[in-house]
Structure 1
Amino acid sequence: MYLQVTTMASSNLKHAVIAFLAPVPSILFYLSFLNNQSHQTSSTGSLSPLWEWCYHHPLLLANALFFLNVNVLFWVISQVLSNHWMISLYWTVIPVMLVHYYRAHPLADYDWWRSIIAILMTWVWSLRMVHNYFRRENWQWSAREDWRFTNMTSQYGKHWWWASFFAIYLAQQVFLIGLCLPMYVIHSVNVPLNIWDFAAIMICISGIAIAYYADTQLYNFASKNKKLKALGEPVVVTLDEGLWRYSRHPNYFGEQLWWWGLAIFAWNLGHGWTFIGSFLNTMCLAYVTKLVEQRMLEQDYRAEAYKQYQKTTSVWIPWFKASPIGGKDKKP
């Protein structure tokens, strides 16, 4: 038993070190760019070709760093570890890195208050996500990889080693860079705060709060069932309390509110085209919702109860319970 605990602790430490070291190349490169840009501009008034390109193309630089450090390096690490756990963790961290990247870039031009508010909210969102990740994984690094990746492993078979680069890592670049485009806009347009900014703030904060409480209720439900199962007692087959009484996926609803709230910031600054990131995320969550519900229906012990739950409960947007035979049940 002692040997098993020691081995787990050693593995946990190893994966923690890997996770902390993984983004170092892009961080060091960006800091080197900022340092050289400041030094060369002040001393000679011009930049070397590399730093000149980095200076004039902040979005392309962000994509280049993401491609090399996340897509390529994280993928190589996943091949060595035979596990794609790290990208799930870094989904919660990369937006924080991007918002600071956009603010620190020499071409950044922004309203100080809007920038600080966006950064603080992004940190709160990230801390909630990180906390939920480790709570779900029993406070371990690399406890398991996303079940969707595990399913794809069996689907792609011997081709998974290369297909995973496109299905997991390149796809994450499209989603994360796209979702974080409003952070770039916030640090590219310098106009004072207005009423739409406050509307965006309220939507973002509401999204974070809803997702937090939904995930906490789901965690408590799973923990309770784990204890019941250990005692040999019947488990509760469906979570139908709290926010989950009014929505089958309130955590997904809260997450979408957060990203759509950020998109409102960009729309208010004249860049409504950045809604594309939130739209793609919503489409992705629609697909994930379908996969999750199929998984529920494949579990014989809860299939019938979940079918009933589907008939009476809204998919995403919290709403009153519906009667299985029509109408609305407005009882809380």
Structure 2
Amino acid sequence: MVTLLSLVFSSMFIFWVISQCVKNPGIVDIYWPFAFVLIAFYFWTINPNPSIYNLLAKLCILSWGFRLFTFLLITRVLPYHVEKRYDKLLKSKYYSFPIQMLFQFLTQVCLILIIATPIYFITSQPITELTILFIVGISLSIIGIIGETITDFQLFWYRENDVEHVCKVGLWRYSRHPNYFFDCLVWFGFSLIAMNVEYGYIALVSPLMLLYIMLVITIPVTESYSLAKRPKEYLRYQKETSKIVPWFRSH
């Protein structure tokens, strides 16, 4: 465990240094999927389980991480697209940008170590047989990865063509945050897979923590910026559209 913590914190420090060198706060976003992939690789090397079920689960985890890392790198970091939530960090008069970014990274590390719980179980013990939990878990994870990919590209494509209005194309017509829904689905699927091993039920803390963060922090902050930019249109969007779960519009 000490080796794992050393890897996670040292990689965090490297990413933090890079963010300071290039003056790009978006580096913290790509560290998120990178850290999960790092953790998966670490446990894979010390517990090379031969089970085909473990292998499928690990490939699913790596697919999620590589997909998100590549998407964020191409759409945010390389074009230097700074998210609104980082504007205050850049303009703060109370704490320097390096200190605030270090706090952002440390916060992420704490969350990552909790949310990565399914990875610990999936990679530490062999899954010896095909169970209903495994089938449902791997299916939900695959659906989640595909859905998250689709919704990310729908939003990216829309913002490239129209920055003045609220995105209501595709699944964004039925949910204000469909990408978050599919992300939760991915980690709920990983947790179900983890339940195939001893004490794997503990992994349920992962999607529950993720959902809590989204409902209490991420969504309110994101929507506050949208309301400030286009209050009437977004307020109507809130009234008509489900918050996370894709559902029929209310009008």
TM-score (norm 1): 0.68
Q: Give the gaps of 5 or more residues in structure 1.
A: 1-58, 227-234, 324-332
Tell me if the contact between 1:85 and 1:144 (Cα under 8 Å) persists in the aligned partners: yes
Q: Give the gaps of 5 or more residues in structure 2.
A: none
1:109 Cα deviation after fit: 6.5
Residue 161 of structure 1 is matched in structure 2 by: 98
Structure 1 residues 224 and 144, CA, compared in 2 at 3 Å: closer, same or farther? closer
Residue 192 of structure 2 is matched in structure 1 by: 264
Q: How far apart are the structure 2 equivalents of 1:142 and 1:177?
A: 29
Residue 296 of structure 1 is matched in structure 2 by: 226
Residue 87 of structure 1 is matched in structure 2 by: 28
Fraction of identical pairs, as percent: 25
1:285 aligns with 2:214: yes
1:197 Cα deviation after fit: 0.5
1:239 Cα deviation after fit: 2.0
1:92 Cα deviation after fit: 2.5
CA RMSD of aligned residues (A): 2.2
Structure 1 residues 118 and 313, CA, compared in 2 at 3 Å: closer, same or farther? same
Deviations 1:83-106 (A, max 9, x none): 33322223222222221210111x
1:171 aligns with 2:107: yes
Q: How far apart are the structure 2 equivalents of 1:159 and 1:304?
A: 35
Out of 149, 155, 160, the position equivalent to 1:223 is: 160
Which letter does structure 2 place at the counterpart of 1:99? Answer: A
Residue 68 of structure 1 is matched in structure 2 by: 10
Residue 126 of structure 1 is matched in structure 2 by: 65
The number of aligned residues is 248
Residue 254 of structure 1 is matched in structure 2 by: 182
- 1:1-332 to structure 2, matched below 5 A, reads 59-70=1-12, 72-105=13-46, 108=47, 110=49, 112-137=51-76, 141=78, 143-155=80-92, 157-166=94-103, 168-192=104-128, 193-225=130-162, 235=164, 237-269=165-197, 270-286=199-215, 287-299=217-229, 302-323=230-251
121-130 or 171-180, which deviates more: 121-130
1:304 Cα deviation after fit: 0.8
Q: How far apart are the structure 1 equivalents of 2:24 and 2:109?
A: 19
Which letter does structure 2 place at the counterpart of 1:149? Answer: Y
Q: How far apart are the structure 2 equivalents of 1:141 and 1:294?
A: 26
Tell me if the contact between 2:84 and 2:225 (Cα under 8 Å) persists in the aligned partners: no
1:310 Cα deviation after fit: 0.6
Tell me if the contact between 2:133 and 2:195 (Cα under 8 Å) persists in the aligned partners: no
Tell me if the contact between 1:115 and 1:186 (Cα under 8 Å) persists in the aligned partners: yes
Secondary structure of the structure 1 residue equivalent to 2:98 = helix
